[in-house]
Chain A
Amino acid sequence: MAPELLQRVRDAVAPLVERFDLSHGMPVLTVAPGRLLETVRRLKEDLRFDLFLDVTAVDWPGEEQRFEVVYHFYSTQHRVRLRVKTRVAEGEPLVDSLVPLYGSAGYTERECHDMFGIGFRGNPDLRPVLLYEGFVGHPLRKDYPKDREQPLVPTRTREGQL
């Protein structure tokens, strides 16, 4: 990333972010959940990070703020990527949805909700997307055992057969 652009990003989001790092050449902004929407709005409107790539989470059990919600953005104009991270606690895993800013946030937030049980305030559609209705638990949490079985389809009784 060009140093001038890096400085512009740093200046624009400086009052909002807790930390500003570089990780393998990619800027990483750490923000409080309450300031996420405002930070991303600035990134989109002032700095032209117009492509929302992805949202996912990393589970760090035992830590006070258990879930790290990770966003990736790309600017088709500057041709650079950027990562935004925020931490939420297990008791209230809730962040603001980015659906008002990016259409592609809808589906990816649904997946993150499926896998980690993180709520996205303002996303109107958090139905299961990769899992199915009635799936119990959030499989990508570290305390979800890999071999847990789910009641997929009830076993058919003889009477109920076709």
Chain B
Amino acid sequence: MSAQLPSPVRPAFESGSREGALIVNIGPSHPATHGTVQIIAELDGEKVVRADVHCGYLHRGFEKECECHTWHNVIPYVDRLNYSSPLLNEFAYCEAVETLLGIEITPRCRYLRTLLAEYSRIADHLTCVAALLMEMGAMTAFLYLVTLRDFIYEHTAALTGARVTHTYGRIGGLARDLPDGWLERLEEILDEYEVYVGRIHGLMDRNRIFIDRTRDVGVLSPEEAIHWGFTGPVLRSTGLARDLRKDTPYLAYGELDFEVPVGIKGDNYDRYYVRMREMDESVHMIRQLMERLAPGPVNVDDRRCVLPEKPLVYSEIESLINHFKLITEGPRVPAGEVYVAHEAANGELGFYVVSTGEGTPYRVHVRGPSFVHMGGLHRMLEGYQLADLVPTFGSVNMVGGECDR
């Protein structure tokens, strides 16, 4: 390689803090870590003394891009933030815009969004736990979990038309209502879930190798977690029962019965177990929501943001103009700013949206949990073995799309 290529990052330290220290570079593209992240670590033997975490390899100017698209056109982009659970991103973004518009979504839409949000959370946790276990060599567990996740992907594809990037949320509602037989298949998948996740519990929970690798590794205290801005399962693994679904209820969470699982030590094992328990709670919530789901419209009746029905577009001029204006100019969102945060699979996902009354956002800022977590990750790596870096990183579940935007 030619010599003049500059390094894209400047490490925080060039030399070791003591005699005999070794500085190694891990990543950004490393077979043992999922996600493109670079860690420059100072080693003392096998122990990590200092770690310098770099992200940004997946930066693609999401926030800049949002400033030149209509409010609706941003929805496919937010899918690509946390691509393991795109619907959670969509619903948080839609709610931010709806708050500015002063819209209250219909009851059916509220229940459906809650149901799909929990469904996405299961898919996200499955991905995280599967990757975490596979990186420690548990191929069987990985395949069980990914099989289950694929049931969910195929099932969501039947609803939204895409396996991963759904673009299903709309400002003021959803793209379409449930197809026939969707809820029956959902019940089957939830039954499958019990079988597959039961196997994982049997394989991992009391597995000596797994416990040795994860217990007391990457320990985080509750105070430290708060100081470094950790939210979501990582914060709960330290023993703090902080969950936005309980603390500041949004969508239909206020009506649901569920628990907030917490860990006891804040180590890798707790992060694994909190995620496993959270999936159980999500299944419990989905079952409650299926009972509550009553027929009704999914979209609000508001011509400022919701597209008119297709037959009307083709038969009357007012609807045609309405449709045309909404597509070409975008919905006029009243000027103002709002910060809406949802409990995404990895923590607090916040959308700070500024409007000047135009059809395009003036500013969209995403508070992605992964990005903030990367700022505190070194606290979980320092003092542990180099080999522990992989499971610790896996248990935090950094998602590049959301971290680097």
Residues on B with beta carbons closer than 8 Å to the beta carbon of A79: 247-248
Task: Answer whether residue A87 sits at the interface, using C-beta atoms and an 8 A cutoff.
Answer: no
Residues on A with beta carbons closer than 8 Å to the beta carbon of B371: 107-108, 111
The CA-CA distance from A137 to B74 in the complex, in Å, is 24
Cβ contact within 8 Å between A103 and B10:
no
Residues on A with beta carbons closer than 8 Å to the beta carbon of B338: 23-24
Task: Answer whether residue A26 sits at the interface, using C-beta atoms and an 8 A cutoff.
Answer: yes
Residues on A with beta carbons closer than 8 Å to the beta carbon of B202: none
Residues on A with beta carbons closer than 8 Å to the beta carbon of B404: 130
The CA-CA distance from A58 to B55 in the complex, in Å, is 23
Q: Given the known A-B contacts A53-B367, A72-B367, A133-B7, are A108 and B242 also in contact in the complex, defined by CB atoms under 8 Å? A: no
The CA-CA distance from A80 to B350 in the complex, in Å, is 14
Residues on B with beta carbons closer than 8 Å to the beta carbon of A26: 339
Residues on B with beta carbons closer than 8 Å to the beta carbon of A107: 371-372, 374-376
Residues on B with beta carbons closer than 8 Å to the beta carbon of A144: 64
Cβ contact within 8 Å between B376 and A103:
yes
Task: Answer whether residue B54 sits at the interface, using C-beta atoms and an 8 A cutoff.
Answer: yes
CB distance from B309 to the nearest CB of A (A): 31
The CA-CA distance from A111 to B56 in the complex, in Å, is 10
Selecting from A10-18, A31-39, A88-96, A154-162, the interface stretch reads A154-162
Residues on A with beta carbons closer than 8 Å to the beta carbon of B289: none
Selecting from B144-152, B191-199, B224-232, B383-391, the interface stretch reads B224-232
Task: Answer whether residue B240 sits at the interface, using C-beta atoms and an 8 A cutoff.
Answer: yes
Cβ contact within 8 Å between A132 and B405:
no
Tell which of A103, A115, A132 touches B228, judged by Cβ atoms closer than 8 Å: A103
Nearest chain-B residue to A145 (Cβ)?
B64
CB distance from B138 to the nearest CB of A (A): 31
Cβ contact within 8 Å between A128 and B56:
yes
Cβ contact within 8 Å between B248 and A132:
no
Residues on A with beta carbons closer than 8 Å to the beta carbon of B201: none
Query: Contact residues of B with A, CB < 8 Å?
Result: 1-10, 12, 54-56, 59, 61, 63-65, 67-68, 99-100, 226-229, 231, 240, 242, 247-248, 336-339, 341, 348, 350, 352, 354, 362-363, 365, 367, 371-372, 374-376, 404-405
A-B contact sample (9 more), CB < 8 A, given A59-B363, A104-B372:
A50-B226, A53-B341, A103-B228, A133-B6, A154-B2, A160-B2, A160-B3, A160-B4, A162-B1
Query: Contact residues of A with B, CB < 8 Å?
Result: 23-24, 26, 50-54, 56, 58-59, 70, 72, 74, 76, 79-81, 83, 102-104, 106-108, 111, 115, 125, 127-134, 139-140, 144, 146, 153-154, 156-157, 160-162
Query: Would you list 25 pairs from A and B whose C-beta atoms are within 8 A, ordered by A residue?
Result: A23-B336, A23-B337, A26-B339, A51-B231, A52-B229, A53-B348, A53-B372, A54-B367, A58-B337, A58-B363, A79-B247, A103-B228, A107-B375, A107-B376, A125-B12, A129-B56, A133-B10, A134-B6, A139-B64, A140-B63, A144-B64, A146-B64, A146-B67, A157-B2, A161-B2
